[in-house]
Amino acid sequence: MRYLPLNDADRTAMLAAIGAAKIDDLFEDVPADSLNATFDLPDHLGEMEVERALGAMAAKNRAAGEGPFFIGCGAYAHHVPATVDHIIQRSEFLTSYTPYQPEIAQGTLQYLFEFQTQVAALTGMDVANASMYDGSTGCAEAALMARRVTKRKKVILSGALHPQYAAVTRTNLELHNDNVIQAPINTGAAEDLASMIDDETSCVIVQNPDVFGNIRDLTPIAEAAHAKGALLVAVVTETVSLGAIKSPGEMGADIVVGEGQSIGNGLNYGGPYVGLFATRQKYIRQMPGRLCGETTDAEGKRGFVLTLSTREQHIRRDKATSNICTNSGLCTLAFTVHMTLLGEAGLRRLAMLNHDIAGKAADALGAVTGVEIVNKSYFNEFTLRLPKNASAVVDTLAKEGVLAGVPGGRLWPDDPAAENLLIVAATERVTEGDIETFALKLREAL
């Protein structure tokens, strides 16, 4: 046998070592009524009955494709070609786990290598890793990486950074007793981050397009950060935007993190998603996660290996760059397949289509009496200021079959200034009929 279970002597020795007389002593702190609890649950059902019950529960949900859908704010309803789902469900991909043995995992290693190449090209950076859990955890890991690079403990967050990204980053950094400072909420993207940077700053984290949809020029912020020895971390939640706007790398970013859900992955009720992470070559050894590299085998043939794997599974905890347990492999593959189908020209066409549809939506909604568009620029997402509470309007429109967007009160529940804000996204799946219906129902609701 390759696995030999413990025998009675082994168990007795282990109990003696910890001062316990019997195994039951290990549970003495657990109340007896909890160990032998009874639960008020219905009796078991047959397979058909279970399907019927679960189907009734699922019917209470409203799918994104069932009508006008304008929700974005970090997760976007894009079309995913059937080819993507077909390929990722092939058994060699669907059942593969992790490429620790390169001699039997060349396919997995190659698509991760291609994924890294695509992400580096999209972000304008030198190198990308083999993915993160999602965009928000990637953002936190970027701040931790900047801390290692600069040996500093102050992080500045833009006021237009997605609040959930900010919360995840703050949670991670405050565990290290770092000083995390966030600028005030600014819907116009005209915030003075440069004045907040000092000699103690490790990094400045800015989203582009920001949470309100504004497109930003990161160059001045990058210059201000570099002048003080700090890094610029750029966050991209809508990856399709990189087909239309200047890449963060071109604007001087040192680390780029993002959410790759937009390409190849559906909304999936909030996950699983896939985090993107790219950086400059000089920081490669501080990059979290793992990196696949290209090499040649003993016969001179092209092959792929894990080049850097400085996670806790591979190295001592105090030397590890992160505690990431795995990469989002299947979501990564979906991203790579979709990007390969699109190509550069296809991505640019898709991006321009998104912007064109968003422009039509902004024109129609901005024409509704009392509605103000707060953006000076946008890609496929923009923010409306309504004359009444946005959450109430969203609820009203949902009853009319229109999922109108994300109300500011949901993201900033403690800020009265956010109550009338409505963040609207319009992707290639939105039709002109959807826009007309939204505008009509919004006019009625107001």
Could you give the 3-state DSSP secondary structure of residue 198? Answer: coil
Cα-based angle 72, 76, 82 (whole degrees, multiple of 5): 160
User: Position of tokens 């390409």?
Assistant: 263
Average pLDDT over residues 37-46: 85
Q: What's residue 155's pLDDT?
A: 98
Q: What's residue 2's pLDDT?
A: 61
Number of H helices, E strands in the chain: 13, 13
Q: What's residue 3's pLDDT?
A: 64
Average pLDDT over residues 355-369: 98
Q: What's residue 316's pLDDT?
A: 67
Pick the CATH number of 71-79+344-445 from 3.40.50.10540, 3.40.50.2300, 3.90.1150.10, 3.40.50.920: 3.90.1150.10
The H or E element containing residue 55 is helix 47-58
Is the pLDDT assigned to residue 70 strictly greater than 60? yes
Is the pLDDT assigned to residue 244 strictly greater than 80? yes
Roughly how many angstroms between the first and final C-alpha of the chain, as a whole number? 73
90 token code pair: 């092939």
- How many CB atoms lie under 10 A from the CB of residue 431? 12
Is the pLDDT assigned to residue 1 strictly greater than 60? no
The H or E element containing residue 276 is strand 275-279
User: Position of tokens 């909604």?
Assistant: 365
Residues spanned by CATH 3.40.640.10 within the chain? 82-339
Q: What's residue 325's pLDDT?
A: 66
Is the pLDDT assigned to residue 112 strictly greater than 90? yes
Q: What's residue 40's pLDDT?
A: 85
Q: What's residue 100's pLDDT?
A: 74
Write the pLDDT tens digit of every residue in 176-202.
999 999 999 988 777 899 999 999 999
Q: What's residue 380's pLDDT?
A: 98
Which of 232, 252, 235 has the alpha carbon at shortest distance from 149?
232
Is the pLDDT assigned to residue 296 strictly greater than 60? yes
Is the pLDDT assigned to residue 324 strictly greater than 80? no
DSSP state of 161: S
Is the pLDDT assigned to residue 229 strictly greater than 90? yes
User: Residue 290: pLDDT band by 50, 70, 90 thresholds?
Assistant: confident
Give the pTM.
0.88
Is the pLDDT assigned to residue 156 strictly greater than 90? yes
265 token code pair: 């992955």
Q: What is the CATH number of domain 82-339?
A: 3.40.640.10
User: Residue 105: pLDDT band by 50, 70, 90 thresholds?
Assistant: confident
**3-state SS track over 394-428:** HHHHHHCCCECCEEHHHHCCCCHHHCCEEEEECCC
Write the pLDDT tens digit of every residue in 230-240.
999 999 999 99
Residues spanned by CATH 3.90.1150.10 within the chain? 71-79+344-445
